[in-house]
Structure 1
Amino acid sequence: MTERMILIARETLELELYEASRLSDRLGEQFVNAARAVLACEGKVIVSGMGKSGHIGKKIAATLASTGTPAFFVHPAEALHGDLGMIESRDTMLFISYSGTAKELDLIIPRLQEKAVTLIAITGKSDSPLAKAALAILDISVEREACPMRLAPTSSAVNTLMMGDALAMAVMQERGFNEEDFARSHPAGALGARLLNRVHHLMRTGKQLPVIADIATVMDALLELSRTGLGLVCVTNTHQQVVGVFTDGDLRRWLVEGGQLEAVICDAMTTHCSVLQTETRATEAKEMLMKKRISAAPVVDENGQLVGAINLHDFHQAGIL
């Protein structure tokens, strides 16, 4: 029984892989026409399909939307009960139907033609009513479904998904859609945290900012270190410019060498310190700290004035690992 299940599973995969391998030979003028229609769309791409085609269609719509093409899925039955009102002449419809004869099409196609909505067909039948009404046809036909009864959409469902991905990727690259654009569509994800966050989004400000004047004492710096827990105190002059930093390490060295807590901070601080700019990408800022083997740094604006401070823990909390 175990060997038989493995054999069936292997045959299923091999059949689907075979059918999928034939798709690339079909990429030609029709595919280019479909891609151009999506690129030229001034509204949204509406993806639609019944049954398994609809499930795949939802994924295609999501892929398009996350790669720079405004898109959403509309169920054909819902379209016939009011949702057609969401579709405008500026939109493009991508309808998925292997047979191209879904009964809903009898009512949907005339309405699309009335509104002059561009229609793209993903179908296995190039002579179907859907194909004949479409500006472009994406051929997902298969010789055989992987289902042993040759009924359940299996090979054709895989072909539909792959053709949808091919269209989305071609359009995405033609738009010049890049990593940062992708991150804007995924601001809560790891990529969004890595690409969108700047230093000023994460830095500590206000009462959380450890800072003392350059006329303060080492004791003042010690108290500020303890109060904020950043591991660093920024030392500024009368113009709020950073003239140095005082760290936990500086404190230990000062005390070991017999320094007094009443001494002026300028005698104990590190003068040639690293600073970060507010608009620096957070990933780049973290890499700079790691490269210089420091755990924290002051943040300055374009005038060199202190506006915040940040340490490695702040990056980790933001999901920048």
Structure 2
Amino acid sequence: MGCVAVVLYFRESTNMEAAYGLSITITMLATTILLCYYLYMKKFPWPGIALFLITYLGIELSFLVANLIKFPHGGWVSVAIGIMLITVMYIWLRAFYIKRRLTEYVKLDQYVEFLKELSEDNSIPKYSTHLIFMTSADRRGEIESKVIYSIFQKRPKRADIYWFLHVDTTDDPYTMEYKVHHLAENDVIRVDFRLGFRVEQRINLFFRKVIENLVKNKEVDITSRYDSLNKANVIGDFRFVVLEKYLSMENDLPLSENLIMEAYFYIKQFTTSEDRWFGLDTSSVKVEKVPLIIKPVREVDLKRVS
């Protein structure tokens, strides 16, 4: 749609010269600055970096000045598209930090025994043999309070083994590593994936490979706990639970942050859902909506009348 709109607006390639020239020049400037930062991070001698930066910035700034003359003749299109992309990135980044600042984490060790007891409580219907949650907690000893709420309170989810999966995106483009932490043998297990930013996050596939490796090393028993199925060595079922956040009406945010969050959730409607982003099998995924209460209302002027 964007390409069609640009073609219909400019009509002829000659009319696109200004926009094309300005966009190329801005790209060259951005590439030069990023390359210099990369050389700085790699601890190249700073005199060489400075010489490179001055030389190329001088050339590219002269091109920029020449192209700015064409700004009213179509160059503004490149600037408008750039501002739009910067705005989206700014909203996404600000919303990320707002959410992370107030995401509540709890110590997972405090709930390991409760999880084991829940796993053995036959009075509660079994939800799944293997129950898997995606977690954003960087520390292996922590978990989001919303995950604990989902397991124990929203609807008690009894499972034989609880899995918590965490994905860490690395700067190395093709990293594919994982670590397994047995918090309670054959009951509570956490898996940390380290994937490069160029690696497609096919968690369903990667998790299956992890399971195969653990079974091969006799670190975990994935057979069904039902007696009739266990005798036949039938593998237990796996179910993923994805917590999808939405902005609660019970927030009392400043105007600026409220606009940021409203814009963030509006943009999020057009993005890939979390289960598809992680490459999960939709037939075994349960999506639960949880309210995102960033700043609850402290006082409500509500009076009881007779």
Please indicate the TM-score interval, normalised by the length of the shorter structure.
under 0.3
TM-score (norm 2): 0.23
TM-score (norm 1): 0.22
Compare the two structures and name the one with the higher strand fraction: 2
Report the structure number with the largest CA radius of gyration: 1
